[in-house]
Structure 1
Amino acid sequence: MNSSAELQSILLDPAQSGAYFFAEDDTAALLAAAQAIEFRVADISLQGATDKVELMERLAAGLQIPSWFGGNWDGLADVLRDLSWLPAAPGYLICLRHASGLRVAEPNEFDTLLDVLNEAAFLWADDGKPFWAILPLPADELPDTDDD
């Protein structure tokens, strides 16, 4: 794990924003770094969420999404592009804990979630604002990233 200063520097770089799987053991350090630079942090548990309906409910509650949110992918994309209902912040970090159940039960919905999160990150990066979504997983569940 990088030092807090290194993590803060990475988090502040919009060009690196996106949705990332992350080692569960490193989550506390990443959240602390985000809070130290006054990011708006949403720490959301997906424990027991195994379908799109439950996912949307958890996201709506965790992100304090306004009541007009439609609870669908287009609506989620819209609110993640806006975020005007949240206090202004130098950046945003969404931590989605315990995502394994959803990942296994609804792999297509999970992939759509990643697409929506990455799309939001790229749009925010175009505006010079960091937007991160991290999905902490146990070390044995992390996707292989070797490019061999």
Structure 2
Amino acid sequence: MTDSGFDPILLDPQQAGVFFVGNDDIAQVEHAARDAELLVRRIDLRGCTDKDALLARMAEALATPDGQGRNWDALSDQLRDLSWLPARGYVLLLPHAAELRDADEASFDTLLDLLDEATVGWQESDVPFWAFLALPDDEFPDEAPVH
């Protein structure tokens, strides 16, 4: 366990993937990722309502090299490369993801697909790549009582 209370599972590329968490959980995930010495990038989606805004925020957070395109193909390539950000693994935190989902479902779905593809690519390289998209806490059902 790390100081944050999370398992070192974050270091296992085969467990990595794209996950939904509550908005209140993002800080804990960030703390655990930093404990695991993974590179963390926070891409706040508050007020992000379309593809162009999303691509701009992703490019800024990922510090993409000059001359890189701002389209879905470029983002896909960037997420699967990240050679300009060398690290033992990566964690993308996307708080307020529901704002994009509710405003532009097609872009939200494309983002999920690209993140999932990137995860698979990084698994093949044995590098953990995680994406945590935060949704309102009330969108998660309460846990059923244990009997």
TM-score using structure 2 length: 0.89
Matched residue pairs, number?
Answer: 143
Question: C-alpha deviations, 1:88-144, integer Å up to 9, x for none?
Answer: 221100001111111011111101100000100111011110000101112212489
Give the match for residue 9 of structure 1.
Answer: 8
Give the match for residue 69 of structure 2.
Answer: 70
Give the match for residue 128 of structure 2.
Answer: 130
Structure 2 residue 96 is matched with structure 1 residue 98 = yes
Give the match for residue 29 of structure 2.
Answer: 30
Question: C-alpha deviations, 1:59-97, integer Å up to 9, x for none?
Answer: 0111111122211111001011110111x2211000011
Q: Tell me: CA distance 1:117–1:143, structure 2 relative to 1, closer, same or farther (3 Å).
A: farther
Q: Which 10-residue stretch deviates more, 134-143 or 62-71?
A: 134-143
In structure 2, the gaps of 5 or more residues are 143-147
Q: Tell me: CA distance 1:71–1:8, structure 2 relative to 1, closer, same or farther (3 Å).
A: farther
Alpha-carbon deviation of 1:57? 0.4
Distance 1:119 1:35 in 2: 24
**1:8, 1:34 within 8 Å by CA — same for their partners in 2?**
no
Identity of aligned residues (%): 49
**2:37, 2:88 within 8 Å by CA — same for their partners in 1?**
yes
Structure 2 residue 143 is matched with structure 1 residue 140 = no
Alpha-carbon deviation of 1:24? 1.8
**2:43, 2:94 within 8 Å by CA — same for their partners in 1?**
yes
**1:21, 1:143 within 8 Å by CA — same for their partners in 2?**
no
Q: CA RMSD for the aligned pairs?
A: 2.1
In structure 1, the gaps of 5 or more residues are none
Alpha-carbon deviation of 1:4? 4.8
After the TM superposition, which residues 35-50 of structure 1 pair with which residues of structure 2 at under 5 Å, given as runs? 35-50=34-49
Q: Which amino acid aligns with 1:138?
A: P
**1:49, 1:101 within 8 Å by CA — same for their partners in 2?**
yes
TM-score using structure 1 length: 0.88
**1:98, 1:136 within 8 Å by CA — same for their partners in 2?**
yes
